[in-house]
Structure 1
Amino acid sequence: MLSAWSLVRALRKAHAYRGAKPVDEGLRGYRAYEPPLRPRAFLDLTMWDVVYRVCPTRRDLWLRRREGVQLEPSDAMRRGAAIHRAFHETSRAVARAILSGVDPWDAYEAGARLCSRMCREDPYVRRVCRGFSFLWSSIALELGSPVAVTEMVVDGSPLGMSRYLRVDALFEGSVVVELKYGGFRRDYAVAVAGYAMALESFLEIPIDFGLVITVNGDGSSVRVYPIYIDDALRQEFIELRDEAIDTLLSDVEPPRPPSCPPTCPFRRACLGA
């Protein structure tokens, strides 16, 4: 089961890289006023717009932002939304209980009761929910307080991003946490870099580390991936952001790809089905 020690152990692995690969100060978010961070246009981009592209030609971005097409959520997207809700709600429930004076394990029970009420019809989400309750309680037990801030809103506008970017969690004030349903993908690490740079601009402090937490298909496995937010991830985020800006500023509609991804939430609108 995921615990505070799991997060700390993962972060130790990421720390090993910092000495060998220090971050270029020119790629920190608080340098957003100068190239390469300064955007060519300020388009209020979301992380989905920039990093989580579905279509290889960026046609999904065009349909959503230029044509106003609404996505059709897949079963996986709905399951992911339910997991995020459990993640945030248990964090708040455990924090409220601890701040009211109860010990961490009684706070865990408060979170578990919330899970039973919130997820009656979905045993999968209920199981994951109880795991999150254990995580928040163990953090409080090990570190003395509920130190993770969940669903933090960050102003990403200096980087050309939305003024309302939502970071899944901020651990110990400087570790970006990204929660995902399914297996690990590199673009999750790139998103962590984007959130870190937005936080650097917002807080004016360096952010070097992140964690990607993945929940598998049946809820039996929760894994933690440590991320050192190095120059390569930062540069990749900047390139993807600039590519998204160029797509939206262009008057040329992106073509359909040779093979349309079956999971694309814009498939029906794109193919005219």
Structure 2
Amino acid sequence: MAVAQHHHETSKTGALPPFWTIARRDSLAGFLFIAPQLIGIITFVLVPLGLVFWYSLHEWNVLANTFTFTGSQNYRMVLEDTNLLEVLGATAIFSVGLVVLNMSLALLLAVLLNQKLAGIAIFRTLFFSPVVVSLVAWTIVWGFLLQKNGGINGMLLMIGVEGPNWLREDVTAMISVIVVQVFKNVGLNMILFLAALQGVPRELYEAARIDGAPAFKQFRRITLPLISPTILLTSIITIVGSLQVFAQIAVLTQGGPGLSTTVLVYYLYQQAFQFHYFGYGSTLSILLFVIVAVLTFAQWQMRKRIVFYEN
């Protein structure tokens, strides 16, 4: 009775309900939980991206301490740059070669290491170990191995084959940097594929064997569809990673011979930090961002046709 009377008096006087309702307290708690991540994205992603776009509209000469607005001039330079087509071609060759070889080898290793054999954990660790090795140290060691008188040619000479100067010839230089990068990171995709393979129900294979399906047909009709979400994930990660490779190129070939291994990331580094064209380097960064965004969006849109989601 007293509660009803109090409610009647509150309504009569027109008092507002309390501000900190349960819904608002829950919303505040949610925002506080995501605040660190949100601040990080704004600080380290959105603000730098905005600054890069701003710099691309200027010519910034650090040595002369000048910062001049040039509008779309840097974007016109992208269309007029005679070296850029060759750089984009080298980037495409590197990315396609890396993605195809990495994912094919990772899937093959995952299938082989998914067997229940004694000591298989040792091989899993062995193939994954390059992932945790220092990238620069790994690349330097391979640089010594791939020299004209290095370890690779030394082993070839033992069987009577004279090896090329791997890092100083156009074709072999590109093959070399692709193989070095594949061996470095194939273990990561292998682990992802291995986890996906272990989640495939064994009953499906048993039913397929009873129906007389050969091993390849089981792989094509059961394994690939059920691990297709992981294939999509690894393809996105691998493609984005291939477009951001820098240290391997810088240590092994410095983009040479000529522009044969000059990928877009290394080219924009040269423009910005070697030739001090920071405005043009920023414009190339925008180009790289657009390429990565378009490829990622295209893969994501293809998921409806190539990815099987188990209900």
Asked if these proteins are the same fold (TM beyond 0.5), I'd say: no
**Which structure shows the higher strand fraction?**
1
Using the size of structure 2 for normalisation, the TM-score is: 0.27
Decide which structure has the larger Cα Rg and report it: 2
Using the size of structure 1 for normalisation, the TM-score is: 0.30
